[in-house]
Amino acid sequence: MKELWAREDERDLAERRSALDITLAYHERSKHDPLRFAPALGYMDWDTQPDPFRRYEGAPVLPLDLLRVGPEPRYEPAFTFGLIAPAPLDRVSVSRLFHDALALSAWKQAGTARWALRVNPSSGNLHPTEGYLVAGPIAGLHPRPAVFHYAPLEHALELRAELSEDAWLKIAAQLPESAVLVGLTSIHWRESWKYGERAFRYCHHDAGHAIGSVAVSAAGLGWETRLLESVTDAELAVLLGVNIQAGVEAEHADCLMAVFAQGASFTIEEQKLFAIPGTVSDEVRGARWSGAPNRLSSDHHLWPVIDEVAAATEKRSQPGEAFWSAGAFEKHSLAVSDSALPLRHIIHQRRSAVALDGRTGLARSAFYQILLKVIPGSRQVPFTTLPWRPCVDLLLFVHRVADLPPGLYVLLRDPARREALEGAIDRTFAWTRAEACPTSLPLFLLEAGDARRVAQQTSCDQAIAADGVFAAAMLAEYRASLEAFGPWHYCRLYWETGVIGQILYLEAEASGLRGTGIGCFFDDLTHRVFGLTGDRFQVLYHFTVGGPVDDMRLQTHPPYQHLAQSRRGAEEGEEPGEVTEVNGRVTW
């Protein structure tokens, strides 16, 4: 018997090693280089452009309320637990949750071309991420437990399947009172249509943005979110009804989040033990699923390597004990300022900058406040959503911060990583504590000097990386984490960068600036700038923040004007306004 177990362990190790090799190889082949971009078509095949909206044709549609984007709650208190009274779980709060997390934020128009923007950012505005709600009876919405798909174009829930009371009780018994589940999936084709093989990376950036967006939306209701990582990808696919999808347009299960009132007890031990009972999975498999997924494109170009890495990074079992280390991480707590800045105006006015002016700067105190927001805290939204110890630090190109020398900096989101990172990057760097830096902000000057040219060069020679207040390269502790937890953690590293990016987006808006993620960057050139070799650390995402240059040729229209007259709670023609007061964060 011991010999049999030994052979099984060897087989598991071999399979895991093969999956890890596939994942590492994918990351290398999908890198951009000044002499070679990652494989893609190289042109825009407009005839096969995917429909940006998944619909389940034939499924019953439950319209959600269109609610006013008002002055409450305030922006700053939303990021710390306990400062916003929890809303009751009902039709209005569910409407608000999705409106502030995954809904449309505006329509843009140039000539006859018209396209939608959403609250949650996406690479190329292609939106591979789909949202789902799994819940018990909700007052004013639906009288029975069910699985719903969120349709952002109509701001509505599509009823996919009803669950028995017994099935929901078995799930709910493991959660805080009045909790609901939010699931996310990805359609890889939406990104690969434009970006080819690198698209798998972008899908998981976007999943991370959506996780952050859901967490911030929930916080505005006095709720919190937790990733339920004890659920395998196959179990999640069954629960959301996407397990029977196949082909290039199929949805791939990403994550499941518990959403519940702040202050409710839901310990890390309870999260570890959460499971979808086998009887529930059996019921869901045999359920009557309504609606058929609409076809997104008339034809497709296949990228087999994406299917390979998706299979290699599938989470097939529960994480080991070492994964659940967030509770052991000594986190700082963010000081909350008193400000009238409204949370939902910031959420709905968020845009991705297309150009920056090369002139706007930022006060040093305001810059530090932005960076403080991306440091995990024990009561701080949205990083409490993630159950693993922070894996991502920021390499910063600082250009225009008052009273702070321009140059290369590093922000340690886990101070315990300093020794490892200091030994891995250029040994000539100074590691000088940034002047007047708060004690809770581990920000270090590596090298003073004009960093604009190198910021632009490493970001695929895009001027936007040089024309802002600062740019960032998100550096992940890479090889060791994949070996420790498994290849499925590759996706989590991108989720973490997406959550960070979502906060940078919102903080930019709150500071009177604008940000944008930069998925096109030269991976190894960025490493060389900081003296990094090997694959212990890898840069996964670039980002930039600065004064936006608006394209005056574009017209902006309200997101749901076509629905406003027919929806309860609607404010006809309402468009979130631009914030003019920026909470004391002086721009210059």
Residue 583 falls within a domain, yes or no?
no
Q: Note whether residue 111 is domain-resident.
A: yes
User: What average pLDDT does range 193-211 have in this prediction?
Assistant: 98
H or E element: which one contains 135?
A: strand 129-135
Please report which confidence band the pLDDT of residue 588 belongs to, taking 50, 70 and 90 as the band edges: very low
Where are any strands of DSSP class E within 430-580?
A: 432-433, 443-448, 470-477, 514-518, 537-546, 555-557
| Among the listed residues 561, 556, 563, the one whose alpha carbon sits nearest the alpha carbon of residue 156 | 563
What is the pLDDT, as a whole number, of residue 561? 86
pLDDT of residue 571: 42
pLDDT at 4: 44
Residues 263 and 363 in one domain: no
Overall average pLDDT of the 191-203 stretch? 97
Confidence category of residue 379, pLDDT binned at 50, 70, 90: confident
Residue 219 to residue 579: CA distance in whole angstroms? 20
| Each residue's pLDDT tens digit, 455-482 | 999 999 999 999 999 999 999 999 999 9
Are residues 482 and 350 part of one domain?
yes
Q: Do residues 180 and 313 share a domain?
A: yes
**pLDDT of 580 over the 70 cut:** no
Residue 473 belongs to a domain? yes
Q: Which residue has the tokens 């694959």?
A: 535
Determine contact, residues 446/410, Cβ cutoff 8 Å.
Answer: yes
- Let me know the angle formed at the C-alpha of 192 by 516 and 514, rounded to the nearest 5 degrees: 5
Q: Are residues 297 and 349 in the same domain?
A: no
Q: Are residues 284 and 370 in the same domain?
A: no
- In this predicted structure, the answer to whether residue 541 has a pLDDT above a threshold of 80 is yes
How would residue 170 be classed by pLDDT, with cut points 50, 70 and 90? very high
As a whole number, mean pLDDT of residues 283-309 equals 96
In this predicted model, what pLDDT tens digit does every residue of 510-532 receive, in sequence order? Answer: 999 999 999 999 999 999 999 99
Of 377 and 499, which is predicted with more confidence? 499
| 257 and 374 inside one domain | no
- More confident of the two residues 498 and 11: 498
Check residue 234 and give its pLDDT: 98
CATH code for the domain in which residue 235 is found: 3.40.109.10
Q: Could you report the per-residue pLDDT of 382-433, keeping only the tens digit for each?
A: 999 999 999 999 999 999 999 999 999 999 999 999 999 999 998 899 999 9
Q: How many domains, the chain?
A: 2
Task: Tell whether 127 is covered by a domain.
Answer: yes
Q: Are residues 127 and 230 in the same domain?
A: yes
Categorize the per-residue pLDDT at 331 as very low, low, confident or very high, splitting at 50, 70 and 90: low
Looking only at the bridges linking them, the beta strands covering 292-293 and 180-187 are unpaired
The neighbour count for residue 88, using CB atoms within 10 Å, is 11
Is cis: bond before 73, omega within 30 of 0?
A: yes
pTM, whole model, 2 decimals?
0.94
pLDDT at 314 over 70: yes
Answer whether residue 576 is part of any domain: no
- The answer to whether 458 and 527 are in contact (CB under 8 A) is no
Read off the tokens for 453: 């040219």
> CA–CA separation, 465 vs 544, rounded Å?
6
What is the phi/psi pair of residue 38, to 5°?
A: -60, 145
Looking at the structure, do residues 165 and 288 belong to the same domain, yes or no? yes
151, with CB counted inside 10 A (0-12, 13-18, 19+), is buried
Q: How far apart (Å, rounded) are the C-alpha atoms in residues 442 and 96?
A: 36
For residue 447, tell me if it sits in a domain.
yes
Average pLDDT over residues 49-70: 96
Q: Is residue 208 domain-shared with residue 301, that is, in the same domain? A: yes
Judge whether 191 lies within some domain.
yes
**Which strands sit side by side in the sheet containing 470-477, from one edge to the other?**
432-433, 443-448, 407-411, 392-398, 470-477, 537-546, 514-518
Alpha helices (runs of H) in 410-521, residue ranges in sequence order: 418-424, 452-458, 479-485, 489-510
pLDDT for 187: 98
Q: Which two tokens stand for residue 479?
A: 């090889």
- Cα first-last separation, the chain: 73
Of the two residues 540 and 551, the one the predictor is more confident about is 540
Q: Which pLDDT belongs to residue 11? A: 57
198 with 104, same domain?
A: yes
Domain of residue 269 covers 31-50+86-318
The predicted model gives 544-555 an average pLDDT of 92
Share of the chain above pLDDT 90, in %: 85
Q: What is the mean pLDDT of residues 355-359?
A: 97
Q: Are residues 367 and 485 part of one domain? A: yes
Query: 323 lies in a domain?
Result: no
Mean pLDDT of the chain: 92
CA 510, CA 346: separation in Å to the nearest integer? Answer: 6
User: Among the three residues 526, 546, 566, which one is the final residue of a domain in this structure?
Assistant: 546
Specify whether 432 is located in the same domain as 471: yes
Residue 555 in this model has a pLDDT that exceeds 70 = yes
- The residues near 215 (Cβ < 8 Å, ≥ 6 apart) are 224, 225, 257, 381, 382, 385, 499
Write down the pLDDT at residue 329: 56
